[in-house]
Amino acid sequence: MKIFGKKIHPRQIILFFAGMLVVGSTSYDVHRSIKNNETPPSKEQIQAMEDYLAAKRRR
């Protein structure tokens, strides 16, 4: 197959789109993580973290 006058194999097309899928899913995941971290932690989350840290310090 020729694209822009260059011979391109189907494996190269598949590899390109697989790479684009990885980049797209990674950037989506990073964006989603940033969006979810914009809200402050709830009192239950803070208490759970303090309990976890206290348990780790006792060891």
Task: Return the pLDDT at 58.
Answer: 80
Tokens of 10: 């189907």
Helix (H) or strand (E) holding 26: helix 10-36
Per domain, the residue ranges of the chain are 2-58
pLDDT of 50-59, one tens digit each? 999 999 888 7
Q: What is the pLDDT of residue 46?
A: 93
The pTM assigned to this predicted structure is 0.54
For residue 3, give the H/E element and its range.
Answer: strand 2-3
Low-confidence residues of the chain: pLDDT under 50: none
| Per-residue confidence (pLDDT) for residue 53, from 0 to 100 | 94
pLDDT at 2: 80
